[in-house]
Structure 1
Amino acid sequence: MAKYKLEYLWLDGYKPVPNLRGKTQIKEYESFPTLEQLPLWGFDGSSTKQAEGRSSDCVLKPVSVFPDSTRTNGVLVMCEVIMPDGVTPHSTNARATILDDPGAWFGFEQEYFFYKNGRPLGFPETGYPAPQGPYYTGVGYSNVGNMARQIVEEHLDICLAAGINHEGINAEVAKGQWEFQIFGKGSKKAADEMWVARYILQRLGEKYGVDIEYHCKPLGNTDWNGSGMHANFSTTYMREVGGKDYFEQLMAAFEAAKDDHIAVYGPDNHMRLTGLHETQSIDMFSWGIADRGASIRVPHSFIKNDYKGYLEDRRPNSQGDPYQIASQILKTISSVALAKSVAA
């Protein structure tokens, strides 16, 4: 038997954006524990805006498990928050009720800034560095500094060792801004991996003395890019059947549901979706072939392949909850499928 360090992770009750929380318990197992072997575990919800002090018990329900290479016998356990009855989802539990479909594939492009002493990493103490241009996919000290690449490379290795489907990294348009990509099959799986990857990155920042800034426009109304979390998505039908008629119905459904999408695509998106810096205005909807200023970007390959493949929703921002984003996308897609079945 070996003692395993189980780091239980969950989302707290803060609004408009929940925080990641984590605490460790030690359990003995003969080998790396399976999800079924992991127990429920209580916590003080009054300290996380999930309960009142006079009735503070909340419960963590493990829903996915990952090896943690940073600890001897380390385990990362993503959890849902449930009520003390051990069954009922807590009101802050966004995962429990979302639409899910293993045939729906999601690729999230998580942008963020490294911050140190209240400024993006690499910014001078006052003012701004040289304008945007050389930083995107840049190389060299003047472009990316001497710390950021160490962090993103280490983050990549920890995620891969955990079995998270981390697909890539790159420096982004603004100085101190980076991106990583996560791909998963099914809303819950893709979102679980994104939240755990975020946790790993934030924890890693402790080691280097930097914070991870997910706000979609941390530099405010300036000529510096904001941060998004573009959502690439497809369903089995989109990949295998598709067709121009279906695509046009799908885009009509996305336009009709514009406000529903914006409502869950992250706070303060009006600061980012201005129609500038390769964004469509928050009040409008458009799609375009390889158009980075559209609400939904359509790859050339999608058109060439008889309107089959994947699409990219460019509106979700870097603070968005991937559970809610994936669920809303599936809800809109399902409305087209339902309409087609009714018409038939």
Structure 2
Amino acid sequence: MTKFKLEYIWLDGYKPTPNLRGKTLIKEFESFPTLEQLPNWGFDGSSTQQAEGNSSDCVLKPVAVYPDPVRTNGVLVLCEVMMPDAKTPHPSNTRATILDDEDAWFGFEQEYFFYKNGRPLGFPETGFPAPQGPYYTGVGYSNVGDIARQIVEEHLDICLAAGLNHEGVNAEVAKGQWEFQIFGKGSRKAADEIWLARYLMQRLTEKYGIDIEYHCKPLGDTDWNGSGMHANFSTRYMREVGGKAYFESLMAAFAEAREDHIAVYGPDNHMRLTGKHETASIHQFSWGVADRGASIRVPHSFVNNGYRGYLEDRRPNSQGDPYQIASQILKTISTVPTDVEAQKAA
């Protein structure tokens, strides 16, 4: 028997953006535990904005398990928060009620800033560094500094060793800003891995004395870019059938549901979606081929392949809850009948 360090990870009840929480349980198993072997656990919800002090018990229900490469015999246990009956999802549990479809594929582009002493990493103590331009996919000390790439590479290795479907990294447009990409088949799978990748990044940077800033516009109304979490998405029908008529109906549905999407695409998005810096206005919906200033960017490959493939919603921001983002995208897609459904209805 081996004693395993089970890191139970969950989202707290803070609004508008939940925080990641984690605590360790030691349990003995003959080998690396399966999800079915992991017990429910509890925590003090009055300390996480999820319960009152006079009735503070909340339940952690394991829903996904991954190896923790950083710890000897470590296990990452992603959990949903349940009410004390262990059956009813807690109101803060956005994972439990989302739409999910294993044939719906999502790729999230998570942007963020490294922060140290209240400033983006690489910024002088006062004022600003040289304007944006050389930092995006930049190389060299003057562009990316001496520690950011080390953290990014270490994070990449940890995520891959944990079994997360991490697909790439790059320095972003603003100084101190970076991005990683996560892909998953199914909204829950993709969102689970974004949250775990965020957790691993935040835990990693503890030893460097650096914070991760996810706010979508941390530098306010300046010429410095904000941070997004662009959502690339496709369904089986979009990949295999598609077609221009279906695409146009889909875009009409996204335009109609604009406010529903904005409501769950992350707080303070009005600060980022200004129509500047490669963003569409928060008050409008648009799409365009290879247009980084559109609400939804349509890749050339999509059009060239007979309007089949994936699309990129550029409106979700870096603070967004990927569970809600993916679910809303699926909800809007579900309102558009496919040719097969239209024929059945006729």
| TM-score of the pair, normalised by structure 1 | 0.99
| Percentage identity across paired residues of the two chains | 83
Q: Which SS does the other structure have where 1:261 is aligned?
A: helix
**What does 1:140-151 correspond to in 2, within 5 Å?**
140-151=140-151
- 1:327 and 2:327 are equivalent in the alignment: yes
Q: Which SS does the other structure have where 1:336 is aligned?
A: coil
What stretches of structure 1 of length at least 5 have no aligned partner? none
Provide Cα deviations, 1:250-283, integer angstroms capped at 9, x if missing partner: 0000000000000000000000000000000000
2:110 is matched with which residue?
A: 110
- 1:173 and 2:173 are equivalent in the alignment: yes
- 1:304 and 2:298 are equivalent in the alignment: no
**What does 1:151-230 correspond to in 2, within 5 Å?**
151-230=151-230
1:251 is matched with which residue?
A: 251
Provide Cα deviations, 1:277-323, integer angstroms capped at 9, x if missing partner: 00000000000000000000000000010000000000000000000
2:58 is matched with which residue?
A: 58
Provide Cα deviations, 1:102-127, integer angstroms capped at 9, x if missing partner: 00000000000000000000000000
Q: Which SS does the other structure have where 1:151 is aligned?
A: helix
How much has 1:337 moved relative to structure 2?
Answer: 2.9
AA in 2 matched with 1:56? S
Q: Distance in 1 between matches of 2:154 and 2:62?
A: 26
How much has 1:86 moved relative to structure 2?
Answer: 1.1
Across the two proteins, how many residue pairs are aligned to each other? 344
1:131 is matched with which residue?
A: 131
Provide Cα deviations, 1:224-269, integer angstroms capped at 9, x if missing partner: 0000000000000000000001000000000000000000000000
**What does 1:42-81 correspond to in 2, within 5 Å?**
42-81=42-81
AA in 1 matched with 2:200? I
Q: Distance in 2 between matches of 1:337 and 1:306?
A: 18
Q: Which SS does the other structure have where 1:131 is aligned?
A: coil
AA in 2 matched with 1:216? C
Q: Distance in 2 between matches of 1:223 and 1:193?
A: 32
* Alignment root-mean-square deviation, CA: 1.0
Runs of 4+ in 1 over 4 A off after TM superposition: 338-343
Query: Given that residues 246 and 338 in structure 2 are in contact (C-alpha distance below 8 angstroms), is that contact kept between their aligned partners in structure 1?
Result: no
| TM-score of the pair, normalised by structure 2 | 0.98
1:266 is matched with which residue?
A: 266
Q: Which SS does the other structure have where 2:237 is aligned?
A: helix
2:292 is matched with which residue?
A: 292
What stretches of structure 2 of length at least 5 have no aligned partner? none
Q: Distance in 1 between matches of 2:281 and 2:91?
A: 32
Q: Distance in 1 between matches of 2:226 and 2:329?
A: 22
Q: Distance in 2 between matches of 1:86 and 1:14?
A: 21
- 1:101 and 2:97 are equivalent in the alignment: no
AA in 1 matched with 2:3? K
